[in-house]
A and B are shown apart, each in its own frame.
Chain A
Amino acid sequence: MVQYSSSLDASFAALSDATRRGVVEQLWRGDASISELAERFHMTLTGMKKHVGVLEQAGLVTTEKIGRVRTCRLGQGGLDAEWAWLERHRRVWAARFDALDEVVEELKRKERSDGRTK
């Protein structure tokens, strides 16, 4: 369980960057080389290598060098990336609904006390 949440933390951290989210999204559609990714995101090869490195560390992406081309594909953790996004959204909604709950509880109390005074 601890291991699971720490890998989730790594996923969150890696995905806190818009370019890296874009790269993962791109790799969902299919494998791509570093230079293809660099071109697609209007970056230098060095810049893209850094981003891919972070994603690789988080287990979201794996790379393999064949000849002169380094190909990137979704790693095991990449399959969890969408899940991580959903979990982000879920937590925001949960916070919002907890606040809604407070407002509703207040309305309920008010209705009860109004009922008593009538």
Chain B
Amino acid sequence: MVERSEPAGAKNPTTLERREREMIVSRSFDAPARLVWEAWTRPELFGRWWVPKSIGVALLSLEQDVRVGGRYRLVFDLGDSKTMAFFGKYIEVTPPSRLSWTNEESEDGAVTTVTLEEKDGRTHLTLSEAYPTREALDRNLGATQGLPEQFGQLDALLATLG
């Protein structure tokens, strides 16, 4: 029961799987890989979906220098004039099939890798977050200890998804 499927009717379900030190999320898209790739690598597009409105957190700024060694930085507004930044650098950029970056907000941040596999005009996306240790993944999953506000927003999101 660790792997969950979407409620009946969802045409492209999102699945999430936990391994020892890795979290893997996957979903299919009815579009060729190059279009999915564009949505991941053009800031004006990426900013539109990475933070869905339903989460209720606003994206204050977004910088993406999508090339090997290039850096990215996202700053979120948590309300009460509190902000939170996520940043790191791209370590693999192979259009339109593989994009990988570091997460440098904490010492034991994950390496995130997105893989796009196209078949018959459809794209299967797999995102892996690989942590240095099992404990680091545990902390991230139970996560947000330092972020009660965000948890509230997550709960609000979950409520709207019912």
Contacts and interface: CB of A to CB of B under 8 A. Distances in A.
Instruction: Specify whether A and B are partners.
Output: yes
Interface of A: 12, 16, 18, 21-22, 25, 80, 82-83, 85-105, 107-108, 111
Contacts of B142: 21-22, 25, 85
A86 B4 contact: yes
Contacts of A83: 1-2, 4
Interface in B133-153: 138, 141-142, 144-145, 148, 151
Interface residues of B, number: 43
A107 B35 CA distance: 7
Contacts of A22: 142, 145
B2 A100 contact: no
A88 B158 contact: yes
A103 B48 contact: yes
Contact of B14 (A21, A97, A103): A97
Contact of A12 (B50, B51, B158): B158
Interface of B: 1-2, 4, 6, 12-16, 18, 23, 25, 27, 29-31, 35-36, 38-39, 45, 48-55, 125, 127, 138, 141-142, 144-145, 148, 151, 154-155, 157-158, 161
A113 to B, nearest CB: 14
A92 B158 CA distance: 8
Contacts of B144: 18
B52 A21 contact: no
Contacts of B138: 25
23 contacts: A12-B155, A16-B151, A25-B142, A83-B2, A83-B4, A86-B4, A88-B154, A88-B158, A89-B25, A91-B158, A92-B55, A93-B16, A93-B25, A94-B14, A95-B52, A95-B157, A96-B51, A99-B48, A101-B29, A103-B45, A104-B29, A105-B31, A107-B39
Nearest to B146: A18
Contacts, number: 104
A98 B25 contact: no
A86 B145 CA distance: 16
A101 B31 CA distance: 9
A103 B158 contact: no
B35 A99 contact: no
Contact of A89 (B13, B45, B141): B141
A100 B39 contact: yes
Given A12-B155, A90-B25, A96-B49, 12 more contacts: A25-B138, A83-B2, A86-B18, A89-B23, A91-B158, A93-B16, A94-B14, A97-B12, A97-B14, A99-B49, A100-B36, A103-B49
